[in-house]
Amino acid sequence: MSLMEWSDELSVHIGRVDEQHKQLIGLINGLHDAMKEGKGRDVLGKTLSELVDYTATHFKTEEDLFAAHHYPDHHPHKREHDALTRQAADLKDRFMKGNLFISNETVLFLKDWLYNHILGSDKKYGPFLHAKGVA
């Protein structure tokens, strides 16, 4: 069983954003699976790097939509993105330097952050962007 499952509850009803959220869920599940299976540092490092890189890509997609449609909560939402980007980059850096073991707590932090971010902040922009014709 996967650590995190996609459900309609997580949908913001914007196709490309939902697909990116599914991809992020897949990457978190992949990191969790690799950790559980005792995969080597190289596999964990590669998976963590993919997660950090894809998160940046996803955040850019959202922020570009916010800017294009003048989303009023753009700046507070971007601050949340920036905070996670810093935390994720720090985790990756510490792991690559050998100062961090990827633990269940690390993966649960990422899962909880994504889940709470989608259900909290991301769900707020869905109706706004829909009213602007974004689907």
| Span 74-102, pLDDT tens digits | 999 999 999 988 888 888 888 888 876 77
Helix pair angle (104-117, 15-36), 10° resolution:
170
pLDDT the model gives residue 19: 97
Backbone angles phi, psi at 103, to 5 degrees: -105, 170
pLDDT the model gives residue 61: 96
Q: Looking at the 3D structure of the chain, how many domains does it have? A: 1
Q: Does residue 126 sit within a domain? A: yes
- The span from the CA of 65 to the CA of 81, in Å, is 14
Q: Does residue 90 sit within a domain? A: yes
Check residue 102 and report its DSSP letter: -
Q: Does residue 11 sit within a domain? A: no
Specify the CATH number for the domain of residue 33.
Answer: 1.20.120.50
Q: Does residue 72 sit within a domain? A: yes
63 contacts 81 by C-beta, under 8 angstroms: yes
Query: pTM, whole model, 2 decimals?
Result: 0.90
Check residue 39 and report its DSSP letter: -
Amino acid present at 45: G
Q: Does residue 1 sit within a domain? A: no
Q: Does residue 16 sit within a domain? A: no
**Which range marks the domain in which residue 92 is found?**
28-131
Q: Which residue has the tokens 């920036």?
A: 82
- The span from the CA of 76 to the CA of 31, in Å, is 28
* Per-residue model confidence as pLDDT tens digits over 97-126: 887 677 777 888 889 989 999 999 999 999
* Per-residue model confidence as pLDDT tens digits over 34-78: 888 887 677 778 887 888 899 999 999 999 999 999 999 999 999
